[in-house]
Amino acid sequence: MIARAAALLLLLYALCFVLFAFTLGKPAAASLAATDGAVVLTGASGRIEHAIEVMRDRKAKRLLVAGADPAVTKSDIARRLRGNGALVACCVDLGSESVDTRSNAEEAARWLQARRYRSVRLITSDWHMRRAAYEFRKTVGSRVDVVTDGVRSEPSFLTLFGEYNKYLLRRMAVWADL
């Protein structure tokens, strides 16, 4: 009986992983209305570039780069993203208080509250979106509308497997009120 229950749990775990892997975060629709702000989580390539593109397209008023290294400056980002210096200078804030997805959400919530923003576009890699959106929605609650905008990538099996387990562990920790 115990072996059957364990086998059922293992099968359920594997099926949910397959579902997780085939339903990664998608880019936001081009027709989607602009949000008050945008938050990009640092970590993988293409995220900041996509966030600047969102700003150029006027899909958000202001951008927070959450989890930025404290040594990074706006001029560093402007140099990296040639031709966007004026946009970075006027409309990008660097947040260096956060070190993980959970603290990214907390840092962003303070930023959103200080500006009284009611909507935010969350920008991160497609494989990271489910956990990031979960943390953001849990942190900001219903007072801020969170629009997800996944940056397409080609994650490895290990990246997906690790992210799936982090997501499950976080959901269980919240469920257990830890």
**According to the model, what pLDDT value does residue 67 have?**
92
Q: Indicate the pLDDT class of residue 48, thresholds 50, 70 and 90.
A: very high
Backbone angles phi, psi at 58, to 5 degrees: 60, 40
CA distance 85 to 64: 16
Question: CA triplet 155, 119, 19: central angle to 5 degrees?
Answer: 30
Residue 67 lies in a domain: yes
What mean pLDDT value characterizes the chain? 94
Q: Determine the residue type at 38.
A: A
Q: Is residue 88 part of a domain?
A: yes
Q: Provide the domain limits for residue 129.
A: 25-154
CATH code of residue 145: 3.40.50.620
Tokens of 150: 């996944």
Q: Answer whether residue 115 is part of any domain.
A: yes
- Please report the pLDDT score of residue 177 as a whole number: 85
CA distance 121 to 66: 13
Tally the domains of the chain: 1
Helices (H), the chain: 2-22, 47-56, 74-80, 85-91, 101-115, 129-140, 157-175
pLDDT in tens, 2-42: 999 999 999 999 999 999 999 999 999 989 999 999 999 99
From residue 93, give the alpha-carbon distance in Å to each of 19, 34, 96, 157.
35, 18, 10, 33
Q: 161 in a domain, yes or no?
A: no
Task: Region of 46 please: left (phi>0), alpha (psi -120 to 50) or beta.
Answer: left
Tell me the pLDDT tens digit for each residue of 74-102.
999 888 888 788 899 999 999 999 999 99
Average pLDDT on 143-149 reads: 96
